[in-house]
Structure 1
Amino acid sequence: MVHVNKYIVFIVTSIWYIAACDDTSQRGIDSQEVKQEIRNREIKYVTQPQIIDAAFKRGSQITDTLQQALTRQMQKAVAEKSLTEAAAYCKLEQLEAYKQLQEKHTASIKRVRLKAPKADLLLNEMEKQLLDAYQYNQENKLPLENNVQKSGAEEMLFTAPILVSNTVCLKCHGKVGTDLSGEEYQTLQATYRMDSLVNYSLNQPIAIWSILFPRKGLIKSIQAE
């Protein structure tokens, strides 16, 4: 009796499938579209190089977007406010794009000073190692490049140098006595502790981006493409 039931179910299912195909043809639906939909629903195997590439591309896009947004924000602040007031706007937390990108990618986005990073800034072991590597390269005048590394079992870490990329940056981070006056420096120092953030030149690295991506999120986004 069990075998008969299975057989009946198979016959009914087959008839339904044939009928559905006939109905699809009658409605003029392209069979190629149906095949493509089936392929889209198949589970895609994702390789480690694909995950690295995805982290690299997303990290680069995020840092480009945030850097451009920060530049626009600082240009506006410097034009409308005093230098000390404007400096308060050089924070990721002031950017709507920062919140949106963290939520979109379920990512942790940080900026880390190359000189004397904040003591209360929490970095994992891989972030510390890469920060050391960037600091070494800067001190020895070696190139600083974008990088992706596996960070533990569950995350991928994207890092990239942050440069003093325009003259607006020099207003706070440039050479004391040239780009900003001694009085301006003293005022900024009293408010923001600028010790390690002054006397930079244009296009000189001042910090790094550190972005942690969940591997599962990267895999899911690759499979959806």
Structure 2
Amino acid sequence: MFHRKTLYWLLFLTVFVHCKPNTENKEVVKEQKEVISQEEALAIGQDIAVASQQVLGKNLKQAIEKKGVLGAITFCNTAAIRLTDSMATAYKHSIKRLSDKPRNQMNQASRAEEKLIAAYSKDLAEGKSISPSAFKKENGGYRFYQPIVSNKLCLNCHGVVGQQVNEKTFAQIKALYPNDKATGYAANQIRGLWAIDIEN
């Protein structure tokens, strides 16, 4: 009888141990659920890019209204990156503006990003629709890109010199940005990219 009771207890303990909830597996499942999808990265990135563009555009228009195009150049030189950084802090994601023909050399696109700009430019020139991209990073998360398309307002400082960009404006640009490459654009052309790192 003693041996039979002992056997029952051993069986009970064995079943209890094996059926006990595995908290380690639960943590793994939780981590897997928290990994962001490409669709989520695209949605998050687009929200941030649109909000950042609106903030820059609003402040740029105010600078033009107060001090004209020359005032806008000074604004871009002193405040644009600071505003972008403040948006990055607010959203807790790295936010940059990149170009294959930058005005500020800090905004130089990589070779891979230059190819992406060229692909977007080709599609836009051929009348194809363009949309944001999100590429998975090696260390997790995504790098989101949204094309920056030139408009009439942009051409005051980024258009053709001697036409949309007058000589006085161009002289101010060269004084602040000796290595400037960001002129010669027409409306509805790809001028660069918003680049946003979306982490898990």
Q: Mark yes or no: TM-score above 0.5.
A: yes
Deviation at 1:190, TM superposition (A): 2.1
Deviation at 1:46, TM superposition (A): 2.7
Distance 2:59 2:122 in 1: 30
Distance 1:187 1:101 in 2: 27
Distance 1:150 1:83 in 2: 39
Distance 1:189 1:206 in 2: 18
Secondary structure of 1:114's counterpart equals coil
- After superposition, residues 202-217 of structure 1 pair within 5 angstroms as 202-215=187-200
Asked if 1:133 is matched to 2:116, the reply is yes
Please tell me whether the aligned partners of residues 52 and 87 of structure 2 are also in contact (alpha carbons under 8 angstroms): no
Distance 2:93 2:175 in 1: 33
Output the amino acid matched with 2:118.
Q
Between the two proteins, what is the percent identity of the paired residues? Answer: 21
Output the amino acid matched with 1:133.
L
Aligned-residue CA RMSD (Å): 3.1
Please tell me whether the aligned partners of residues 103 and 182 of structure 2 are also in contact (alpha carbons under 8 angstroms): no
Of 171, 174, 179, the residue aligned with 1:189 is 174
Runs of 4+ residues over 6 Å off in structure 1:
none
Deviation at 1:145, TM superposition (A): 3.1
| Unpaired segments ≥5 residues, structure 1 | 4-41, 216-225
Of 145, 160, 166, the residue aligned with 1:175 is 160
Asked if 1:114 is matched to 2:97, the reply is no
Asked if 1:86 is matched to 2:72, the reply is yes
Secondary structure of 2:153's counterpart equals helix
How many residues align? The count is: 168
Secondary structure of 1:196's counterpart equals coil
Asked if 1:52 is matched to 2:38, the reply is yes
Of 128, 139, 143, the residue aligned with 1:157 is 143
| Unpaired segments ≥5 residues, structure 2 | 1-8, 10-28
Secondary structure of 1:203's counterpart equals coil
